[in-house]
Structure 1
Amino acid sequence: MSPLPNVHRVWRRRLIALRSLLVLSLALALLTLRRFSPELLPPANVLAGLAVLLVPSLVAVCSLNARPSLQRTLLGVELTLDLLAVLILVQQLGGAANPLSFYLLVPLLLTALTQPPRAAWGLLVLTLAGYLLVGLWHSAPDPHSTLHALSRELSHTHGIGMGVVFVALAGVLTLLGQVIQSLTRDQQRQQERLMELAGRRERLYQVAATLAHQAHELNTPLSSLVMLADNARQEPGLPEATREDLAQIEALARRVAGRLRQTDAELPPRCDYGTLCERLRLHLRHLQPTLSLTVEGDPARTLEPAPDWFRVLANLGYNAIDAGAEQLVVRLEEDGRRLVLQVSDDGPRHQGPTEREGLGVGLALVEATLESLDATLRLDFHHQWSQARIEWSPPT
């Protein structure tokens, strides 16, 4: 699993863009104010304050490639420098009465979103202390300047109201950032647990698929052994001892094959088509969890003997999975007085009839079972799909 991206490094890159935009906006604002108030000439300390805003960006640029474990600490230091730089600029531009002071809420909120509680509440205290300091001690603008009208020609009550609103916003944003960060951590832990559960489920599916595949590989030769032993016993002229040995081999093979085909034993002799296909879906899911099974036809149609039909469909499903199929379509329809069961798959791994027909003895077992059911099997192969068409006359 690939490591998570360094979120704090991403935040530091965004802060670089945010500070650059702020400096550009302030410079344009000063130029605009000069058009309305020609006597307003930014003093050297104001220009120095704008330059100070870029200092944290220089720190970020020089340390973006630091270790991921240091990125959070560096981001905290950077936000603190950002706060101090804005305080210096606000102190030069009229103090807390200047609307620019509300930019102090930006590093405060980012700290609450990215730093632990101690750092977030510590920066809140530093922000409120700095806001109070620049409110009491600051450089007064020129009395006849536009900046003076912006920051000084306000009532005392208005200044107190701005302070109350600032303190309230600072506290709410800090609390909100911590809550969002806590919810994000909880969501991340839930996602990690879900990923872990998904990994465990995938491993269980792999184990189940391996066991099911091994059971299929054992069941196929065992079924062949039962069929060969039964045919050999029909041969005339066999010694009685040999016939008894063949009977014992057949009985042992049937017993082991019966243990491997527990699903067959659970099916009643008569079963409707919908239930049979649903049992097939659950059975094949252990072997190929991603296989999509589509069932078409009358689900209430009764099929008997159900274990034999299930064995036919299961072997066709096994061969489809061996061919790398992702989709399996089972369709039941009536053609006059005969029933047609059509099984199609999109297995791309074996594109020729020789390759598909040679997949073990599964198809031979299907043909043997269908022969006992008085049904016929026709196989059609294409480079994009394969199809088995079974026809039989249902008992009246």
Structure 2
Amino acid sequence: MIKIRGILKTAQTVQDNLENGLSTHKVAEFKQFITSSVTTIEKICAEAKTTPHHLPRRSREAYYFLKSIDLDNLPIASSQATQTQIASISIKNIKAQQNNILENIFNLASTANPNSAAIEQITHSLIKTVTTIEAICSHQQTTPANLTSTSRQIYSWMKFLTDEQNLQLHLSSTYRIRQIAQEILHKHQLSSLKLTVELTNLAGLYKGKKSHTYAHISISEGFINAPDEVLQALVKSTIIGKSQDNSHIIRSFAASEEYSSILLMLDLIAEVISENPQGGFYNLDDLFDKLNHEYFDANLLKPRLAWSKINTYRKFGHYEPARDRVVMSSALDNAKIPEFVTEFVLFHELLHKYHGTKWVNGRRMVHTPEFRSDESRFKLYAEAQRWLQKLASGES
């Protein structure tokens, strides 16, 4: 059974738009979005030699919902209702700014040990751009969650790279991809092609362009911590063409927690409602105090605690070291979810704060043996794991 990331969020976005009604100038774009989403789901299933009917229940139901929408009879919002909605904010020239940063990163990644002054310059550019975007949002009494899709995607990517460790890993991975690509081009007598490589916040896994003069490779930021075998499969699929073996390698890593945790991190950067620990049902402050006394001898300093704007059904929480913040999925703020399940996810994220990040052979390791040992101390560990597996598979 395959899993396709983003189906549930897409269905929720569509449902919200249908409930609120569409402005007349958005109808064509909305139709295209639904059609494209359905086509992408069917294509991914076809490549995996299956059908949408065999997706996990939640994903299958989301697909059926998208497929059943009558595109010729979409609800139109009244002009008065449209005026009261918060307009999406588009950041002028944000794509050009991102392209400039990507070009600088690619040039800097020509060596395994880039110049520290150049890294500082990129960091400064990232922070300056992110701060400007946040100021624009604040001036309009809103947050980056109200940016247009493209602006929000790029903002989240830039904000992600303002973290020193994320930027270092990004540079290291760009260097490895660049080396792998040059080796493959040389092997296939294509060394004359001008090569460009980028890791960015893509909607898909990867994409590329190749002509008789250049080769461009664009890979999802989710692969930032992927081993060389996966990066080789990505480069070969982009430059040489897809193969069954390489597609299997890529999709296997894309189904891993390493991949999904990065994407969730990017999603949550702009998708937090507010840093209010009080949810509709659970209060994160209360749960933290309980866990801190029970497992950390009341010695763990409380991080910032927040509920996400979106429900997630694959990864239910995330710890952001740069902001010392735990973000929890709204899917857990529910009377149907036992308190110990929400506690366990918060405990897992607090362990990330407690243990920190270790680096082994240039790769980031967060789930060390010490981490897993402490995690297993949770009083209802097995029961919580079973509950989360049921939630992720759509059984509950």
Indicate whether the TM-score tops 0.5: no
Q: Computing the radius of gyration over CA atoms, which structure comes out larger, 1 or 2?
A: 1
**Which one has a larger percent helix, Structure 1 or Structure 2?**
1
Give me the TM-score of the superposition, normalised by structure 1. Answer: 0.23
Give me the TM-score of the superposition, normalised by structure 2. Answer: 0.23
